[in-house]
Amino acid sequence: MNMHLPLVREFMDNYVDTLSPETDIMVAVKFLLQKRVTSAPVVDSKGELLGILTELDCLKLLTLGDADCVLPKGQVKNFMTLASAVQAIPPDMDIYYVAGLFLEVPYRRFPVVENGRLVGAITRFDILRAVQSRLAPSVISSKEGIQSLTYIRSP
């Protein structure tokens, strides 16, 4: 029997909010907060991955500020994690392998790169979707063992 392993391209987010390396760092912080994301890939005008700006990178703003609460100024490129330190994955990688990678690193998402260009991102949540839709359909159809939460209002 020829079993098809589910691939990253089947479950990745094809649209990913990105930043330019020239973006002002405070504009980038606002961007992350507005988009409700913990990181954003940094790409050039051709879509090539230059790095990633993470929450941790942005925390550097506080540590580099002064006693008067004046935050440092700069651009994303001054604070981002460079692409050489970012683990990017190809879209034809199977999700089993990616699940194993997630167990080894603290990241919640991997940028997906093909021919040097950012084509998407895959998250831990995407892997859970793959589990639900492809790997355990018989279990999903059963509601056995699922409890609902009931909130009790105090008088």
Helix (H), strand (E), coil (C) string for 38-84:
CEEEEECCCCEEEEEEEHHHHHHHHHHCCCCCCCCCCEHHHCCEEHH
The answer to whether 87 and 101 are in contact (CB under 8 A) is yes
Q: So what's the pLDDT on residue 68?
A: 65
Please check the confidence at residue 81 and state whether its pLDDT lies above 50. Answer: yes
**Confidence bin at 149 (pLDDT 50/70/90):** low
Please check the confidence at residue 126 and state whether its pLDDT lies above 80. Answer: yes
* Rounded mean pLDDT, 56-82: 82
Q: Quote the percentage of the chain above a pLDDT of 90.
A: 56
DSSP lists the bridge partners of residue 19 as 42
- Break the chain into its structural domains and give their ranges: 8-136
For the domain covering 8-136, report its CATH number.
Answer: 3.10.580.10
pTM of the model: 0.78
Q: Quote the percentage of the chain above a pLDDT of 70.
A: 81
**Confidence bin at 1 (pLDDT 50/70/90):** very low
Please check the confidence at residue 115 and state whether its pLDDT lies above 50. Answer: yes
Please check the confidence at residue 13 and state whether its pLDDT lies above 50. Answer: yes
Please check the confidence at residue 145 and state whether its pLDDT lies above 60. Answer: no
Please check the confidence at residue 140 and state whether its pLDDT lies above 50. Answer: no
What is the rounded distance in angstroms from the CA atom of residue 39 to the CA atom of residue 5?
28
Please check the confidence at residue 111 and state whether its pLDDT lies above 90. Answer: yes
